[in-house]
Amino acid sequence: MNSPSSTRAASRAQAGPRGTPLRGAAAPLVAAALLLLAGVPAAADSWGHERGWSIGVEALADFIGAEDPGPGSGANAVFVEEGGGGILLHLGYAFTPRFAMRLGAAAARHGTTRAGVEVDHASLTVEAHCRFLHGEPLQPYVFGGLGGAALEFTSGSLDSKTSGGEAVLGVGLLYHITRHLALDLAARLDLINWNTVEVTAKLPSGGEIRLASPVDESGSAGKLVLGLVWQF
């Protein structure tokens, strides 16, 4: 006859193997829960979202059409470097899986031929985006929009700002890392019509003189952007 202690030991020995599959089954359940929380889709048609808001933060490489110093350039002339870097922020809304609108604000800084003098190139645009391959993790898109641009710099006691309207055209790729998070790569071309120059001179007395003059000049800027877009 078996003793009570040996019976309990046998019961524990039998319970161990039966409990092992339950502990092993918990791992996939936990992994599935983590994937759901991260927004990783279970099927290809879950990539992206049908409609809703989005926020983007992107690094910006800015290339403006700038003049190079020539033989007749004065000693005090300041020339802007073509390449600069900055940031692009945008807020968007997708009305359908293939059509969205964005409000974008970009700012980039360029060096100049004079030490300590830098030029800021800023723009604000409203854009319409047309997207393709909805449901796929990689979605190309094209876009166009209208807005305004400005070039500003400070040299000693002199501030200068040139502003005007612009049209923007571009192409891009959205690569969905999760259902709500995507990597955004885009190339943009800004076609600018400069129409106003404002110059502000600061006086030693503390006052200032401000002059504004209309101009009619065309310019352009190319932008490469890479960043993240959160869709919600």
Could you tell me which residues come within 8 angstroms of residue 134 by beta carbon, excluding any fewer than 6 positions away? 48, 97, 98
Among 52, 47, 142, 137, smallest CA distance to 94 is for 52
54 & 33 share domain? no
Among 226, 224, 204, 221, smallest CA distance to 119 is for 221
Distance CA 90, CA 103 (A): 5
**Number of folded domains that form the chain:** 2
In a domain, 71, yes or no: no
33 & 123 share domain? no
Q: What is the pLDDT of residue 28?
A: 45
The tokens describing 6, both together, are 């040996």
Would you say residue 12 has pLDDT above 80? Answer: no
121 & 179 share domain? yes
Distance CA 150, CA 158 (A): 17
Q: What is the pLDDT of residue 68?
A: 61
Of the listed ranges 27-36, 75-84, 143-152, 198-207, the one predicted with least confidence: 27-36
Would you say residue 5 has pLDDT above 50? Answer: no
Band of residue 146 on the pLDDT scale cut at 50, 70, 90? very high
Distance CA 45, CA 119 (A): 46
3 & 53 share domain? no
Domain that holds residue 33: 1-38
- 92: amino acid identity, one letter: G
Distance CA 60, CA 71 (A): 33
pTM for the whole thing?
A: 0.72
Tell me the per-residue pLDDT of 156-185, one tens digit each, with 9 for 90 and over: 778 889 999 999 999 999 999 988 899 999
Q: How many Å is the Cα radius of gyration of the chain? A: 29
25 & 134 share domain? no
Distance CA 10, CA 195 (A): 92
Q: What is the pLDDT of residue 85?
A: 95
